[in-house]
Amino acid sequence: MGDCWRWGWRLVVAGLRSWWLGREAGTAGFEAAAATRHATVWFRRGLLVRLGLLGWLRRREAMGVGGSLQCGRGWMVRGISVCGNAGIATSSRDRTVRLWELDPSNECRYSAAKILRGHTSFVGPLSWIPPNDEFPEGGIVSGGMDTQVLVWDLRTGENVQTLKGHKLQITGIALDNGDIVSSSVDCTLRRWRKGQPVESWEAHKAAIQTVVKLPSGELATGSTDTTIKLWKGKTCTQTLAGHTDTVRGLAAMSDLGILSASHDGSGCIGITLDGVCVQSIEHPGCVWDAKFLENGDIVTACSDGVARIWTVHQDKIADPLDLESYASQLSQYKLSRKTVGGLKLEDLPGLETLQIPGTSDGQTKVVREGDNGVAYSWNLREHKWDKIGEVVDGPDDGMKRPVLDGIEYDYVFDVDIGDGEPIRKLPYNRSDNAYDAADKWLLKENLPLAYRQQIVEFILQNTGQKDFALDPSFRDPFTGSSAYVPGEHSNASATAAKPTFKHIPKKGMLVFDAAQFDGILKKITEFNNTLLSDQEKKHLALSDLEVSRLGALVKVLKDTSHYHSSKFTDTDVAVLLRLLKSWPIAMVFPVIDTLRMVVLHPDGANVLLQHVEAENDILLEIIKKVTANPSLPANLLTSIRLVSNLFKNSCYFNWLQRHRVEVLDAFSSSYSSTNKNLQLSYSTLILNYTVLLIEKKDQEGQSHILSAALETAEEENLEADSKFRALVAIGSLMLDGLVKRIALDFDVANIAKAAKSSKDTKVSEVGADIELLTKTS
């Protein structure tokens, strides 16, 4: 499987697992799937006729790149909906839904006919409403991480219905006789009719990942609980068990059964011809969705921000320049993923580095030669680099990992315990604690715990950890000593060490408590003088008394040693609030910066709180004012820092939790800014919210913060400290929060892997923390 999503499409035909149509057992001819970085096409006689793809079998032509849909900015494409003659709709992590129409002058080109904006977080499932009286040109239903289901009129491109009710992310959309049925991570299905809720029910005990309407009239749902359920109304008619991990996607196959996609890695996308794979369609990223067009072509959604059409029709093949460009993208992607000896090939120095003399005899250096890594050794006597040879990958670098009971491990050892007993299989991952692994294995194999220390030493020696030190806290459960002594017994209980993390979980809040007060006052005075010189705006300027009050306020803020006893009057804060409400938008940033410091003062925070709890919430007014287009970086920076500093005082916790959606949505574009300080401030806001919502045990809030943190961590141009804080937020939510399963479903393993390869030490370390979390239960 690929190194991104480890899930695949799996056709379940009636009788094979007694699933759906009740037909006799058949051969699962359409196996595997669209979410590794390969979409593999297979062929099998007989099945193709039912799929309407007989032309493929007759022509036996390899599929090639046809049209491509450039969804922009490198955002991953998450969902696809084929909209009849209207075109193709795609959803993305850029929060948009895009409708693409074929260029009538060039059938290899698609252009974005409409961009539908309305979601406040990334968009996932899509469903097409065929033209009807209400939607003459058809409609689109979309579901997002923001917990909303939106209905769009394709004639106008407008959002005509917003369906609210789910508590967590929307994962599936199905149309059922005019009704909309939505599934969510909150474990419920909801039915909507004419924009209004009709009914809802808990369909699974774990997150629902998909819902689909079957030709039989039933609904089918797939869940993190590994099952598929069939529904007539709110009644479950059948539960289908067979997958061993999250069921991520479902599709109805006419006259065949249900096509299910799971994280258990049960295959790769395809149609088979006598069990032989005749083509593999590679992508420069993870493939998140795949749909058939009426003519048999395939549309795929890729994490590189492009949806592509794959065709066997020669007149629709992309032109040579586009094909060459795609081949180059694919080559670069492969190069970026290739490792040699555990090192990323693209990070290795070139041959020019061999012009630099070594520092000691026998010093080794690995350099990039073409698509290979080659090791050289410094020959001190001859003063030259001697070529040792090509570096080969270790057991976790490109080689197939051993599998036991359907699960991949770094190692699977054969253990011979003698006495004519059969060979036992001992699985182990390098991230595991050896003592814990030994305990679990001994219990599973019903073997005496007296073997524990021997098993631990066996694991450590055979995984290359030769210079290991035994756990000093370990006491053998039979002897009470730190090493195994056979033949003696004890009733002491065994202890297993817990995994340790370098940077998670995050405890406590971060604030921006440094301020250049003289510079702030100077800027306010400068702006005030500008207003005084303008007859039309002179009335907005500070009076002499207000200037005096502002100076006194800053004097109190400077004297941090007396924060426990110094006080503010309501008049002091009122001066700042008047300026925020009345001054031109381009002049408010030094005023916001002053307020940022006021909320760090215990009494100042309490005085401001009275205005926050008033009917006209001043904080929300500020946020709306500074984020209105066009927004100024200085205003965004100071206001994000102001909100971040609110976390210093528990009296603001309820406000922060209550207005989480407004706050994050207002500042959500900050992480993609070119302003590094703005990036860092936004990441800090996310991290503070993480700590608060974990403490509050707010699962819905944690899901929202996780979405923001994932989007931020994946930004390619993010400054290292900002990325680090976003990753710490993700790790903390997975470790102490309630959304680990959601993080796993949204490719956090790949995010962790990318972070581990960072040249920044802290980012690499927290990436390792998250990777370890993905491997622990």
**What values do phi and psi take at 509, rounded to 5?**
-100, 155
Confidence of residue 116 (pLDDT cuts 50, 70, 90): very high
Long-range contacts of 559-562 (CB under 8 A, 24+ apart): none
Mean pLDDT of 757-772: 91
Look at residue 369 in the predicted model and tell me its pLDDT: 81
Residue 219 pLDDT > 60 = yes
Greater pLDDT, 536 or 628: 536
Query: Average pLDDT of the chain?
Result: 78
Q: In degrees, to the nearest 5, what angle opens at C-alpha 604 toward C-alphas 665 and 644?
A: 25
The model's pLDDT over 571-595, given as tens digits with 9 standing for 90+, comes to 888 899 999 999 999 999 999 999 9
* Best-predicted range by mean pLDDT (253-257, 363-367, 536-540): 536-540
pLDDT, residue 419, reads 56
Is residue 126 predicted with pLDDT exceeding 50? yes
SS3 category, 411: strand
Decide if pLDDT at 6 tops 70.
no
With a cut of 90, say whether residue 729 has pLDDT above it. Answer: yes
- The pLDDT of residue 54 is above 60: no
Percent with pLDDT over 90 in the chain: 37
| Higher pLDDT, residue 364 or 673 | 673
CB 697 within 8 A of CB 736: no
Q: What's the Cα-to-Cα distance from 24 to each of 14, 43, 660, rounded to whole Å? A: 6, 21, 53
Residue 294 pLDDT > 70, yes or no? yes
pLDDT: which is higher, 453 or 138 = 138
pLDDT per residue as tens digits for the range 243-262: 777 777 777 766 656 766 66
pLDDT band per the 50, 70, 90 thresholds, residue 676: very high
Q: At residue 596, does pLDDT exceed 90?
A: yes
CA distance 126 to 150: 10
- Per-residue pLDDT band for 486 (boundaries 50, 70, 90) equals very low
- What percent of the chain has pLDDT above 70? 77
pLDDT reading at 519 higher than 70: yes
By C-alpha distance, which of 5, 606, 559 is closest to 261? 5
Measured from the Cβ of residue 747, the count of other Cβ atoms closer than 10 Å reads 19
In a 3-state reduction of DSSP, which class is residue 405?
coil
> Cα torsion at 154, 160, 165, 169 (round to 10°)?
30
Amino acid found at 233: G
With contact defined as beta carbons under 8 Å apart, do 705 and 695 qualify?
Answer: no
Distance CA 68, CA 302 (A): 11
Output 16 or 360, whichever has higher pLDDT: 360
State whether residue 282 is helix, strand or coil.
Answer: strand
Running DSSP on this structure, what letter comes out for residue 496? -
CA distance 149 to 120: 11
Q: Is the peptide bond before 630 cis (omega within 30 degrees of 0)?
A: yes
pLDDT, tens only, 487-516:
333 333 334 456 788 899 999 999 999 999
Q: Tell me: the pLDDT tens digits for 76-94?
A: 678 889 898 888 999 987 7
The pLDDT of residue 719: 92
Bond preceding residue 602 cis, omega within 30 of 0: no
